[in-house]
Structure 1
């Protein structure tokens, strides 16, 4: 029995988790500086990654030369990229951030993939991806907030779009190391270095937080980001991506804005428009079309941080 549906379900679940995190992170940044919140997310996740690596593979080490490479990858892909994500959420609307951060990423990943991995861009993937792109655009632009090109949001918009380009290249550039070492081992170390480089940037932020005044919601946001959005989501996403391939897996990022809209309805009593429902149908049809391709390209593991 073909059980590939389990991996597509895993991708959908993780994308939904990340979608809900747009609202969680936006709320948390009313209390925490964006860089500090990013550090808490990845810094607190590091021990869990090393524990999983030790249990699963029996060791955690790497050659020093490889560690230097991963230090650079962590600096760009975790320290720089995640700070850009947090500030894009802070300095533009959620609609803008979700559209510019999420929508172009799979396109760039599919376009750049042949430069890094042997993965075929099929006609079915192109058609399904186009349907998903149209759907996610309707979901975001059809909301009450819409897409805002105001100059007040320009910095956040540019950061969000830059995240898509750099993020896609970052994912794919890990391939040479992951042909020799597991994605878990490589990613554990670049997340460690990314958090390490982020630590000095938080020095002025710790004293600005009223730690004694933190409430249950603040701790819930931290736990959600560390255990669910980072540790759990990373393991499930990469295990699923390994089985079905990078290009088609990245299109499941389009579930993120849909999940964000649903979270807004459930937690913030925000409405859902007809255009958003039409978009959800288009997006769902596109992703189903992608997932039902009989002959799939050779899967390649790719590390992801969201």
Structure 2
């Protein structure tokens, strides 16, 4: 019981960390090229990942047979996903990007999960997920921007919706490897390959940043992105997701928009509307409803299968 709530608490904490990063990254984007900033976030995190992996597990290597798989996951889940997120924000409104990115993500995770993991969709999960979706829509649409179907936003809308498809595939393919390798080892090599593929995309963009004009706030934003949003968050999220399951854990991403709204209030003096507060309440109720579902007692066959997978 305690471990279950610890995992749920970890998912919520990381969602809040990522939500707060919307405000921190917005400040950083005033001085950095988006692709360069994204590369700094993941590239500078690589030494920390390898150091922690070496200290905790005694080695950093991976079998050659899974190198192509990890490289593909890094290309899709780090390089493609992060760049698509940045440009979806650029080519549509923040409300559109948030709604189309966040809301469909858990739905696609639930649809794709049976292809990668033995996960079932329960009635409680459906009800709690539906309540959370309503809540997150209220949080996003209750803001000043609202949702826009203008033709000039269509490219950004399509990219944001694509994020909600790419993201679950990234989660699930990573989880399938975590049956054999630790969340830390999978995260380390995924980010290493993703950063490697991202590096060529930064060529020609480094000069767009006035490095001599950067202040302590800029370096703190880089540190927050590298250490908190990447090193700590990726390892904790993947570890909790593996324990909770991809379908259930991805609904906790709905805490991200609420945290982003709170960050806007504290960092940019943005107003919080009554509809947004009601939405946060709905979202919290849905996540609590999902969290209190009791895990069914495993059958002997399932237990033996699980034991066998751990011995591989």
Q: TM over 0.5, yes or no? A: yes
* 2:76 matches 1:76: yes
* 2:149 matches 1:149: yes
In 1, Cα distance between the equivalents of 2:291 and 2:106?
15
Q: 1:97, CA displacement in angstroms?
A: 1.5
Aligned to 1:199: 199
Aligned to 1:21: 21
Answer whether contact 1:120 1:297 (CA < 8 A) is retained. Answer: no
Deviations 1:219-262 (A, max 9, x none): 12111111111111112212222222221111000000011111
When structure 1 is superposed on structure 2, of 125-134 and 25-34 the one drifting more is 25-34
Aligned to 1:303: none
Answer whether contact 2:187 2:235 (CA < 8 A) is retained. Answer: no
Answer whether contact 1:22 1:89 (CA < 8 A) is retained. Answer: no
In 2, Cα distance between the equivalents of 1:212 and 1:109?
43
Distance 1:188 1:142, change over 3 A: same
- Give the structure-2-normalised TM-score: 0.91
Q: How does 1:118-133 map to 2 (within 5 A)?
A: 118-133=118-133
Aligned to 1:276: 276
In 1, Cα distance between the equivalents of 2:159 and 2:34?
14
Q: 1:136, CA displacement in angstroms?
A: 0.3
Aligned to 1:8: 8
* 2:59 matches 1:59: yes
SS at match of 1:174: helix
Aligned to 2:233: 233
Deviations 1:58-78 (A, max 9, x none): 101012221122112211111
* 2:159 matches 1:180: no
In 2, Cα distance between the equivalents of 1:244 and 1:297?
15
SS at match of 2:2: coil
5+ residue gaps, structure 1, are: 301-306
Aligned to 2:161: 161
Answer whether contact 1:136 1:279 (CA < 8 A) is retained. Answer: yes
Q: 1:148, CA displacement in angstroms?
A: 1.8
Aligned to 1:221: 221
Distance 1:166 1:75, change over 3 A: same
Larger radius of gyration: 2
Q: 1:56, CA displacement in angstroms?
A: 1.4
Q: 1:296, CA displacement in angstroms?
A: 5.5
Q: How does 1:239-250 map to 2 (within 5 A)?
A: 239-250=239-250
Equivalenced residues, count = 299
Q: 1:297, CA displacement in angstroms?
A: 9.0
In 2, Cα distance between the equivalents of 1:296 and 1:169?
26
5+ residue gaps, structure 2, are: 299-305, 307-312
Distance 1:8 1:177, change over 3 A: closer
Aligned to 2:301: none
- Give the structure-1-normalised TM-score: 0.93
In 1, Cα distance between the equivalents of 2:83 and 2:250?
21
* 2:105 matches 1:108: no
Q: 1:18, CA displacement in angstroms?
A: 0.6
